[in-house]
Amino acid sequence: MGIKIYNTLTKRVEAFEPLEPGHVKMYVCGPTVYDYFHIGNARPFIVFDVVRRWFEYRGYRVTFVQNITDVDDKIINRAAAEGVSPQAIAERYTQAYWEDLERLGVLPANYQPKATEWIPKMVEFVQKLIDKGYAYVLEGGDVYFRVRKFEGYGKLSGKSLEELEAGARVEVDERKEDPLDFALWKAAKPGEPKWPAPWGEGRPGWHLECSVMAMGLLGETLDIHGGGQDLIFPHHENEIAQSEAATGKPFVRYWMHNGLLKYQGEKMSKSLGNFEYARDVVERYGKEAVRYFYLSKHYRTPVNFTHEAMEDARRAVERVYHLLEELDQELDRRDGHTAELNVEKLTKRGRTYLAYLERAKREFEEHMDDDFNTAAALGVLFELVKEANVFRQDVAEEDLPLLKRTFELIRELGAPLGLFQESPWRQAHGEVQAQLVELLIEVRKELRRKREYELADRIRARLRELGIELKDKGEETVWSYASTGAGVEGG
RNA sequence: GGCGGCGUCGCCAAGUGGUAAGGCAGGGGCCUGCAAAGCCCUCAUACCCCGGUUCGAUUCCGGGCGCCGCCUCCA
């Protein structure tokens, strides 16, 4: 039935058809590298990471571009404040950006172009707009885009020129032909980074880079362009104007915008000062809790950040890992890892359960296809966890392959969400350590047999302090790495 | 003021024209030497309010109220 997407441009959910069959070309606005990104900034990174993974899950080839804005007022200001070069700031935070994405489990984009590496292309692009009469040069060397000349300005944000004019704030630059016009090129000021251009040295305006790099890497018409809702106006509106003015072709076919993160009821924002760095939140709750936190909501709705919610998310993720661990160890105990699934041999109960597994998978996929409804999909996944927990209580020998199938299915469905792929078990921490733990379990088993509970409990308590959790099941004991703090993440 | 979004259990959050998934928290029980995990039972009868359409609306329409975002750099 295919993937459906809510398109900001049409304000409707539409069936997705890529321009080139089987190949999705998507672009998402990346960071301005002047600081670590905050937990709110992490939302689009995670959301579009999942969009990308879902297309791949569905068999599409995806070319995903995410830019890095490494020349900008904020970088220049920060550099001045620290007394270092803008380049040094940009390099430092570009590096940090990559590190943080990795910590969030976000797959790297296929292309991560830096604005400073595309300046000549941008200059060409501006020249083209000037030649076509869509842009004009002011005396000092600033170049502006002539908004009124572009028919359809406002189609993305739903704004009319009249409204915009009425709402226009006091305009600093009186030399502009029209208050609505926006900067394509900023003339160099003393001490600022600058590049040569036919109309004078300077640097590109913010909107310009996205258009130039997106079209440079993906072609004149993109399938998908994404970003936060706060970018709809003016950023994306301006991108459309300049791109379509230059090429005469539709710039983007599906515009996707994620909702924003609130913090204590207000928008989380650097300028308001009410934010927490993504890296700190990941450190505290683990990457999967952060991903779960976002994915348990629809990507277009606003969400409120609280530590309670992060803690809940952490526990929810833990619940799934507990099941995986139980399944794995049950398979170990009963030599079930190699058993082949053969429907003929299953018990009646097993067949019913298998049918359920298949239905769950289908429902999960349908929800994901429906405008990436990760919240509903996760609902299906947790229902599966529940059913699996019931099923595994009493499994006939013939049905053992279903335990394996359950384990695999959770991994399979978790993969496009970037969840449940970790190994919180022994292999994540090395064989020797695992054998040591098992040795202690052996000793403790003996102690319990002798009813020397005091010592047995001390072993359990001390291991707990080391992040290793023991759970007794009658005579046997299963163990896992505890997930408080960084535990589940393999810490 | 203009544009857009949102208002579902204590908290988070899907969803549907025929009385509502899931997670977290809570209560009772089973299991256990104890614990942890798990299981079973329980946990929305005004789905913001008021009208309307309908045999029937939380779901559609209209009007309110409240909250949020954008209109300025911002994911």
Per residue in A60-109, pLDDT (tens digit) is 999 999 999 999 999 999 999 999 999 999 999 999 999 999 999 999 99
Residue of A266 and A490 predicted with greater confidence = A266
Query: What is the ipTM score, two decimals?
Result: 0.91
CA at A475, C1' at B10: how many angstroms apart? Answer: 39
CA A59 to chain centre: 19
- Asked if A67 and A209 touch (Cβ cutoff 8 Å), the reply is yes
Instruction: Summarize the confidence of residues A143-159 as an average pLDDT.
Output: 90
Determine the nucleotide nearest to A226 by Cα–C1' distance. Answer: B75
Chain B bases closer than 7 angstroms to a protein Cβ: 1-6, 11-15, 21-25, 32-40, 67-75
DSSP letters of A425-487?
A: SGGGG-HHHHHHHHHHHHHHHHHHHTT-HHHHHHHHHHHHHTTEEEEEETTEEEEEE--STTG
The whole-number pLDDT of residue A422 equals: 81
Distance CA A384, CA A237 (A): 43
CA distances from A71 to A87, A105, A125, A354, A366 (A): 8, 27, 18, 55, 42
Determine the nucleotide nearest to A168 by Cα–C1' distance. Answer: B71
Q: Which of A411, A405, A406, A408 is nearest to A386 (CA)?
A: A406
Judge whether residue A255 has pLDDT over 80.
Answer: yes
CA at A54, C1' at B37: how many angstroms apart? Answer: 32
CA at A405, C1' at B55: how many angstroms apart? Answer: 47
Judge whether residue A436 has pLDDT over 60.
Answer: yes
Domain residue ranges of chain A, discontinuous segments joined by +: 4-305, 316-421, 422-491
Classify domain A316-421 by CATH architecture. Answer: Orthogonal Bundle (1.10)
CA at A322, C1' at B7: how many angstroms apart? Answer: 35
The whole-number pLDDT of residue A163 equals: 73
| pLDDT bucket at A484, cuts 50 / 70 / 90 | very low
Whether A4-305 and A316-421 share one fold: the answer is: no
- Protein residue nearest nucleotide B69, by CA to C1': A230
CA at A449, C1' at B32: how many angstroms apart? Answer: 14
The whole-number pLDDT of residue A482 equals: 63
Determine the nucleotide nearest to A382 by Cα–C1' distance. Answer: B22
Tell me the CATH number for domain A4-305: 3.40.50.620
Contacts of residue A227, defined as CB under 8 A and 6 or more positions apart, other chains included, come to A28, A29, A44, A235, A236, A256, A257, A258
| pLDDT bucket at A490, cuts 50 / 70 / 90 | very low
Determine the nucleotide nearest to A376 by Cα–C1' distance. Answer: B14
Judge whether residue A319 has pLDDT over 60.
Answer: yes
User: Pairing state of beta strands A135-137 and A476-481?
Assistant: unpaired
Determine the nucleotide nearest to A73 by Cα–C1' distance. Answer: B73
CA dihedral angle for residue A231, residue A232, residue A235, residue A239, rounded to 10 degrees: 130
CA at A227, C1' at B3: how many angstroms apart? Answer: 18
Question: The sheet that has A266-267: what strands, in order across it?
Answer: A266-267, A261-263, A303-305
Per residue in A335-376, pLDDT (tens digit) is 888 888 999 999 999 999 999 999 999 999 999 999 999 999
Judge whether residue A472 has pLDDT over 60.
Answer: yes
CA at A258, C1' at B68: how many angstroms apart? Answer: 14
